[in-house]
Structure 1
Amino acid sequence: MTIDTKDMLNSILESISRISYIKPEEIPEIDLYMDQVTTFMESHLSSSRRHEGDKILTKTMINNYAKNNLLPPPVKKKYSKEHLLMLTFIYYLKNILCINDIQTLLDPISENYFSGDGSMDMTELYNEIMNLELKQIEPLAKDVTKKYKLACSSFEHATEEEQDFLRKFSFICMLSFDVYVKKQVIEKIIDDMADNQPKDTKNKNSKK
């Protein structure tokens, strides 16, 4: 691990700053057809790809989300601004959660806020969540840097040739453990939410 701590922190901050998220004001006010939806999502979330050829969202994915009740169905084959905000939530959640867990989370969102008849609309809800997440950038960078420093101080008695790999391995393991613990917490909360859902909703989810 030859990158010094300062360069590593700058690299982390730069990487985090490049994470794409869709701003509500960027979404067209008119409803979109499927091809327009996939094009929009590809253009606004392209920097989140791991590999250049990776797809952000395909037609098949979106159809499956609607089929599995993760996404309200389109109206006359057109998707609204609310649909695109829901798709953004799904896009991020699907990387760590199973379909049933995402449905448990998003069912109340669809029912209470998608139509705009609740105490707030989807745009307000989305903005609140994104503002909370943006506030995590600095603490996240500090935490990753702390783990990096710990990794750099590990395996002091290994040979120089071994140290580079073993310290990278240590760094990855610490980051992975952090993700693992947080995923356990997330799943516990979702299980509690599912237990408190109305029986008809539970039955619907169990059939998926």
Structure 2
Amino acid sequence: MKKLYELVSELGLENTITLDDIPNIDLYMDQVTQLFENKYNEAKRNEDEKILTKTMINNYAKAKLLFPIKNKKYSKEHLILISLIYQLKGALSISDVKVVLDRLNYKIEHEQLNLSELYVSHLELHDKSIENFKANINVISSDVNQEIDKKEDEDIEYLESLLLISSLINTSNMYRRLAERLVDEMKEEPNKN
């Protein structure tokens, strides 16, 4: 098994769409998909995986995850929303993503929010989450190694991988379940639009 820190470095966690990456002009759909493919290419699990497709964007628009597009061009605010959707859909259902973004879309449409400022906060928290993730990986790895030291087996590398995978999945599931509970609370909140 590769060293864990090598695998973490291959994940492309630092790759994000920043405000500097988003042009100050509206983009056509092909330009949007190309921007995301170029920025997140390193995060792909394999070459066949698509980061963002025209169909995905159309589905986001149909599901009203984005406020209406004008003249088939996507504004800076649309790109920020698509970036948020990209992050959220990794763990949440599309219907949950809609719940999370409904009020945000309303505020954007009615100019009640500076989306760029909010996005900068999102990116700062993203960077802190990477630091926390790396620290937590060290803790999980240490815990797994302690358990492995108790085992007497010829296939110790396999057992180490198995325990590491199960620990990572358990941690991931806990975060996802908490996020889903927060979405459920959003559903119960009175509509403040």
Distance 1:153-1:24 versus aligned 2 partners, 3 A rule = same
Q: Residue deviations 1:169-188, cap 9 Å, x none?
A: 11111111111111111111
8 Å CA contact retained: 1:115, 1:121? no
Distance in 2 (CA, whole Å) between partners of 1:57 and 1:17 is: 16
Counterpart among 50, 74, 80 of residue 79 in structure 1: 74
Shift of 1:2: 7.4
Q: Residue deviations 1:17-58, cap 9 Å, x none?
A: 653101111111111111111111111121111111211111
TM-score after normalising by structure 2: 0.91
Alignment coverage as a number of residue pairs: 192
8 Å CA contact retained: 1:24, 1:123? yes
Q: Which residue of 1 aligns with 2:34?
A: 39
Shift of 1:195: 0.9
Q: Which residue of 2 aligns with 1:180?
A: 173
Q: Gaps spanning 5+ residues in structure 2: where? A: none
Distance 1:193-1:76 versus aligned 2 partners, 3 A rule = same
Counterpart among 106, 111, 115 of residue 111 in structure 1: 106
Distance in 2 (CA, whole Å) between partners of 1:71 and 1:46 is: 23
Distance in 2 (CA, whole Å) between partners of 1:107 and 1:67 is: 13
Q: Percent identity?
A: 33
SS at match of 1:154: helix
Q: Does 1:191 align with 2:184?
A: yes
SS at match of 1:135: helix
Letter of the 1:46 partner, please give it.
N
The CA RMSD over aligned residues, in Å, is 2.1
Q: Gaps spanning 5+ residues in structure 1: where? A: 202-208
Counterpart among 103, 124, 131 of residue 117 in structure 2: 124
Q: Residue deviations 1:140-167, cap 9 Å, x none?
A: 21110111111122243331x2211111
Counterpart among 39, 61, 64 of residue 69 in structure 1: 64
TM-score after normalising by structure 1: 0.84
